[in-house]
Each structure stands twice: as structure tokens, then as C-alpha cells.
Amino acid sequence: MGSDIHDLSLAPQGWNRIRWADGEMPVLRAIRERFARERPLAGVRVAACLHVTTETANLMRTLRDGGAAVALCASNPLSTQDDVAAALVAEWHLPVFARRGEDRDTYYRHIHQALDTHPHLTMDDGADLVSTIHNARQELLPEVIGGSEETTTGVLRLRSMARSGVLRYPIVAVNDALTKHLFDNRYGTGQSTLDGLMRATNLLLAGRTVTVAGYGNCGRGLAMRARGMGAQVIVTEVDPVRALEAHMDGYRVLPMLEAARVSDVLITVTGDTSVIRREHFEVMKDRAIVANAGHFDVEIDLAALADLVEERQPVRPHVEECRLRDGRRIYLLAEGRLLNLAAAEGHPAAVMDMSFANQALTVEYLVRRGRELRPDVYPVPPAIDRQVAALKLEASGITIDTLTPEQDRYLQSWQEGT
């Protein structure tokens, strides 16, 4: 089985960075060591469509040490770290199909190449493997046991497939594990999105007005970290409960049309389409910066922007100046693709440690139990969630209390009141 990567000579640099990330991933490492002893994935073929990063490399090693044959393709054309792709090929002879900056056709060709390995399990970040199998590669379905999904957007797509009755195999929504979305989505997206913003622009955030569109876990993390850097943060929402939460968390809550007039930076993290669109571009300040941290590049209406633009030119890596016909300039970051992985390195390894520990344990669970599940979207078993949290606490040197027998009895009873 071949590979399609950019440059094999980058492998030594990739390997060094993978080892560095491994140092921050003690939970995944403990699982890898157990997998190497027990080989619970022996004979299993896994196709993974993930951001090709140092953290993903450590997950791939873990599955491989568990006995799986793994193939990897990119889940976004701009997020691949070419040195990591090279190291996976050079060190572990993994079939990797990913080149940073690949065009749309190459992106889908790579997905097909990963699927050509006839996987028993799919591992997605955005549901592209599942949708490609269902749309174009149905001949693979008889061999597929199940799949896992890493991100909110993917889970939404898969739930929609399940609701419409078209989903043909069971999926575990890793995103929905508490030890995934409460940490990765919040602390990971919060930090890595600002990292991408600052690497791309070198902007001083203190005193700036930053709009965060969407107050899910990712938006909460991003708003929190932007405030921590001294920005005045505006939140836009469509959900009344989330809007109220943002208000009570101390943010200004505005409709996008008003936020667009006053913001220096606007970042979308909603998972929905056309969140920033023509009417918003029309009122933005000169030099407004627009970026997306949601999974797909649909949140900023790029066609509407193109329609208003007279001239566009790159001014720094990942920063494109769009000069509108009325003379205002809007700066688009990372072509509207997810900023944290395009302009920075994605979430730090310490938080991916938990997300990918959930992935590894979910694969083990699917190998054991997947054949008993009907096609649907399932939660990560709570025992896995608790195990990941306990291992992370242990690795962080944190011990916690346990209930006394009296407390345990009290919680089980209903007789005792005031």
C-alpha cells in the first residue's frame, strides 16, 4: 500500500515533534503500552480521516501497537503537517494520504485511497469517510463494523443521517464524551484559535473588540481566552439559552449586524453556514479581521465577499487583504478555513491526550461490541469517560476524595430530608 505525502525528507523533524507531543500525552501513552501488551486490535483495519498533526500521529501509533492496520488521510486540506505525514511513513510505514494545501480533487482522492484499504472501522473528524462510503463506496459496507466521530460538526451530520434512516453502520460520537468536549472544545479551541490569530496577524488583543459567533463549548473557550488577553468580547448567538449564558458570563450579546459595525476581529465557531455574510461585510469597519474556527469553511460567505471585492492580495502568510469597492479593507484569515489548524498547530497535545484516549478506547470497544450495535449514533460508554478522567488526574498528580460509606448510603437513600 503506497502513500501520497509531500516530502519524505521531512521525517526526522516530524518524528522529533511527535515525540515532543507524546511527552504531553500520558493517558494515550498508558493506553498504548497496554495495547502493545494485549494487542486488542489484532487483525483490524482502521481508516482514519483526521487532521494530520503530531497528536494524531501518536493516536495512529497507539492503534498500530494495538495490532491494527491503519491508513490515514487528512480531514482538512490546510491542516496537514507535512513533516508528521513524512514521519508516519518513514518510521511506521503507515499508508498516509495527505499533503498540506491539497486541492479539493486531491482531498477526495486521498479519502478514496484510505478507503481502498477496506476498513473494518472508520475514524472521522467531520464525517467525510462515512459520507463517502455511503455516497460512493457502498461495496465496502459489508466489512465495516463501526466508526467514531471526533467533532461536533461530524456528529450533527451523522445524526442527520441516522434520523433520515440512511446510516448503515453504528457510530460512536467521541465528541460527546465529557472528557472530550468539555476540555478539547473549550480549552483547546480557545487557546489554539487565538494562537492562530496571533501567529497570522501579530495583533495586540488588549483593548480590541472581538466578536465570537456561537457560544457552544468552542465559543465559550474562545470568548474566555480573548477576554483573558484584554479584548472586549461580543458574543452572537441564535439559541436563547446560550445567549443568556453568554450575557451572564459577562459578555456583550448582540446580533451579528450590530457586532459587525464595531468589531476589530470577528471569528465564527457555530458549525453553521453563512454566519458572516454580505449584509455584515457591508457594515464592517475598515481593517476588520474575519476568521473561522468552525470545522468547515462555510461559516463565512466567501462568495459574497468575493462579490464585494475590487482587489485582493496576500499581505502575510494566512492573511489576505480584500479591498472593497468603497475602499474599506477586510482581512480574511486562512481562506476562511479553520484558523487554529491552518495558521497554528491545532489544539495542544495535553488536551488532545484526552480526546484521542477516548478515540483509542472507543476503537477497542467497537472491536469487542460493534457487531451488537444497530446503525445509529451512540455515546461513548460512560466507563470510558471516567477512565480517561481518572488517568488524566493520575498523570497530573492530582488525587481526589472518595465517598465514605455513610455518604454513599445517603446518596442512595430518599428517606432522610431536613
Q: Per CB under 6 A, which region of 53-61, 137-145, 255-263, 399-407 contacts ligand ADE?
A: 53-61
The footprint of ligand ADE on this chain (CB under 6 A) covers a number of residues equal to 10
175 binds ligand ADE (CB under 6 A): no
Complex with ligand ADE: residue 275 or 341, whichever CB lies closer = 341
In 59-194 the beta strands, taken as DSSP E runs, fall at 69-74, 96-97, 121-124, 146-149, 171-173
Q: Per CB under 6 A, which region of 25-33, 46-54, 227-235, 249-257 contacts ligand ADE?
A: 46-54
Nearest to 116 by CA among 54, 167, 64, 69: 69
Site string for ligand ADE, 355-394 (x = CB under 6 A): ----------------------------------------
Give the shortest CB-56-to-ligand ADE separation in angstroms: 5
64 binds ligand ADE (CB under 6 A): no
Backbone φ, ψ for residue 65 (5° rounding): -65, -25
- Of the CA atoms within 13 Å of residue 178, those in its CB half-sphere come to 11
Instruction: Restricting to residues 144-173, name those near ligand ADE by CB under 6 A.
Output: none
51 binds ligand ADE (CB under 6 A): yes
Give the shortest CB-192-to-ligand ADE separation in angstroms: 6
Q: How far apart are CA 318 and CA 180, in angstroms?
A: 28
Closest CB to ligand ADE: residue number: 346
Give the shortest CB-346-to-ligand ADE separation in angstroms: 3
Q: Per CB under 6 A, which region of 218-226, 302-310, 345-353, 362-370 contacts ligand ADE?
A: 345-353
> What CA–CA distances, in Å, run from 293 to 298, 341, 382?
11, 9, 28
Complex with ligand ADE: residue 153 or 232, whichever CB lies closer = 153
| Contact status, residue 181 vs residue 159, Cβ threshold 8 Å | no
> What CA–CA distances, in Å, run from 46 to 99, 163, 169, 186?
20, 26, 15, 28
Using left for φ > 0, alpha for ψ between -120 and 50, and beta otherwise, residue 266 falls in: beta
Instruction: Restricting to residues 271-330, name those near ligand ADE by CB under 6 A.
Output: none
Give the shortest CB-59-to-ligand ADE separation in angstroms: 8
346 binds ligand ADE (CB under 6 A): yes
DSSP conformation class of 276? B
Binding residue for ligand ADE (CB under 6 A) from 352, 357, 360, 366? 352
Q: Per CB under 6 A, which region of 174-182, 253-261, 283-291, 344-352 contacts ligand ADE?
A: 344-352
Which grid cell is 384? 470510558
Q: How far apart are CA 62 and CA 30, in angstroms?
A: 10
Q: How far apart are CA 391 and CA 367, in angstroms?
A: 22
Instruction: Restricting to residues 177-216, name those near ligand ADE by CB under 6 A.
Output: 188
56 binds ligand ADE (CB under 6 A): yes
Give the shortest CB-341-to-ligand ADE separation in angstroms: 6
Give the shortest CB-51-to-ligand ADE separation in angstroms: 4
Q: How far apart are CA 39 and CA 42, in angstroms?
A: 6
Q: How far apart are CA 381 and CA 125, in angstroms?
A: 19
394: helix, strand or coil: helix
Give the shortest CB-153-to-ligand ADE separation in angstroms: 12
> What CA–CA distances, in Å, run from 74 to 217, 361, 387?
24, 22, 29
Which grid cell is 320? 489576505
Q: Per CB under 6 A, which region of 136-144, 289-297, 346-354, 365-373 contacts ligand ADE?
A: 346-354
**Which residues are near ligand ADE by CB under 6 A?**
50-51, 53, 55-56, 188, 341, 346-347, 352
